[in-house]
Amino acid sequence: MNPLQENIELASSRISEYLSQNKTASSWQLKVMFRLSSSVLYLALGALYKEGKISLEADGINYHVTWGKKAENAVPAAPVLKENM
């Protein structure tokens, strides 16, 4: 495993532990609290989101991160763009 993957897994673990106890945080709070680069933060949040452990709600340049899945507030998937042929 390369160092980036290790950093992402460590960040995911720490974020999961924090959110399981506190239920919610902003992406900015998590970034500052755990001293994460933006890249590692968003890759870790993406991994947790993909696993269904968190929900994300956009708020300007930040996200509200909530422990558990809330379908009505989850960030919608990006639409599939069709190429003009």
Question: What's the DSSP call for residue 52?
Answer: T
Asked if 66 contacts 30 with a C-beta cutoff of 8 angstroms, the reply is no
Q: Which of 82 and 65 is assigned the larger pLDDT?
A: 65
pLDDT tens digits for range 25-66: 999 999 999 999 999 999 999 999 999 999 999 999 999 999
pLDDT, position 73: 47
Q: Which domain holds residue 18?
A: 3-73
**Is 18 inside a domain boundary?**
yes
When divided into structural domains, the chain yields a total of: 1
**Is 41 inside a domain boundary?**
yes
**Is 25 inside a domain boundary?**
yes
CATH of the domain at 59: 1.10.10.10
Count of beta carbons in the 10 Å neighbourhood of residue 11: 24
Please give the Cα distance from 70 to 54 (Å, whole number): 8
- φ, ψ at 56 (rounded to 5°): -125, 140
The burial class, CB within 10 Å (0-12 / 13-18 / 19+), for 83 is exposed
**Is 80 inside a domain boundary?**
no
Q: What per-residue string of b and e applies to 30-58 under the rule 16 or more CB within 10 Å gives b?
A: bbeeeebeeebbbbbbebbbeeebbbbbe
**Is 84 inside a domain boundary?**
no
